[in-house]
């Protein structure tokens, strides 16, 4: 872990330790599950258990791997990133601070984005993903935690100026250098072609996200990004 990362505001250092092994396994997405097991073994049991409250009993867990999940975000701190799992894929949940949201509409960032309105390769029902926040609640960002180049898990790099001199904060993929803002929109110069997809989800309560379908109606339930 870099010094910049460990100093990032509001970040859960234990959890970032758990993300790092997945990045080091870069090109092999199957290792995500191993990484998730690492979360439980790294002292972050409470955190991970609290967020994965997917109402599954152990007997149904396997058959429900593709089912929507419920994530309780009530214990998240501002600036904190946590990792959940849906359809065997890592899912980011980031509690964005006000300064992070402010960066998303800065002209100096917008002119660097490949697809600022997220018009390419996004699920059709999630109209909210076309804005700068790409979220139903601006402070709570949810996305598939896979780079759209070759599906590494990008690093969370919130501290400004740490990746490039103009770096506003966001996500950086160490595999081949792709850069994303705090809404996971890809930045020009990255090998990644697309913004990182936002999965279908809605908020069951202000503190519980239901990830895997829209509005409880099953809408987009079977959606998966083309890159999977
Ligand atoms: S996999 Fe992320 S830049 Fe290549």
Q: Report domain extents, the chain.
A: 3-211
What is the CATH superfamily name and number for domain 3-211?
Rieske [2Fe-2S] iron-sulphur domain (2.102.10.10)
Q: Can you tell me the distance from the alpha carbon of 222 to that of 218, in angstroms, rounded to the nearest whole number?
A: 8
For the entire predicted model, the pTM comes to 0.75
Q: Can you tell me the distance from the alpha carbon of 2 to that of 7, in angstroms, rounded to the nearest whole number?
A: 9
Per DSSP, the residues of 77-126 read: PTT-EEEEEETTEEEEEEE--HHHHHHTT-HHHHTTBS-TT--SS--TT-
Per DSSP, the residues of 179-212 read: EE-TT-PBBTT-S--SPPPPPPEEEEETTEEEES
Mean pLDDT by runs of 10 across the 228 residues of the chain is 33 34 37 33 31 39 69 97 92 98 98 95 80 96 96 96 97 98 98 94 94 81 72
- Residue 22 burial (CB count, 10 A): 23
By most ligand atoms within 8 Å of CB, the mutation choice from 114, 157, 172, 173 for ligand 1 is 173
Can you tell me which atom of ligand 1 is nearest the CA of 27?
1
Whether ligand 1 lies within 6 angstroms of the CB of 146 is answered as: no
């Amino acid at each position: 872990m870099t010094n910049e990362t460990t100093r990032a505001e509001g970040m859960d250092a234990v959890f970032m330790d758990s993300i790092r092994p997945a990045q080091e396994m870069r090109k092999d997405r199957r290792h995500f599950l191993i990484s998730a097991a690492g979360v439980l073994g790294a002292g972050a049991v409470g955190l991970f258990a609290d967020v994965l409250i997917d109402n599954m009993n152990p007997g149904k867990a396997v058959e429900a791997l593709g089912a929507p999940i419920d994530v309780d975000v009530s214990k998240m701190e501002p600036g904190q990133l946590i990792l959940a799992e849906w359809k065997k894929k890592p899912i980011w949940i980031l509690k964005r601070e006000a300064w992070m949201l402010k960066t998303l509409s800065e002209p100096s960032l917008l002119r660097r984005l490949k697809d600022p309105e997220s018009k390419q390769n996004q699920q059709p029902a999630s109209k909210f993903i076309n804005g700068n926040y790409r979220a139903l609640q601006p402070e709570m960002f949810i996305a598939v935690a896979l780079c759209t180049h070759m599906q590494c898990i990008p690093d969370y790099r919130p501290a400004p100026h740490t990746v490039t001199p103009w770096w506003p904060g966001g996500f950086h993929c160490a595999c081949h250098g792709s850069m994303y803002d705090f809404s996971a929109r890809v930045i020009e110069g990255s090998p990644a072609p697309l913004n990182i997809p936002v999965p279908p989800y809605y908020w069951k309560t202000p503190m519980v996200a239901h990830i895997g379908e829209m509005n409880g109606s099953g809408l987009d339930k079977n959606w998966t990004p083309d890159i999977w």
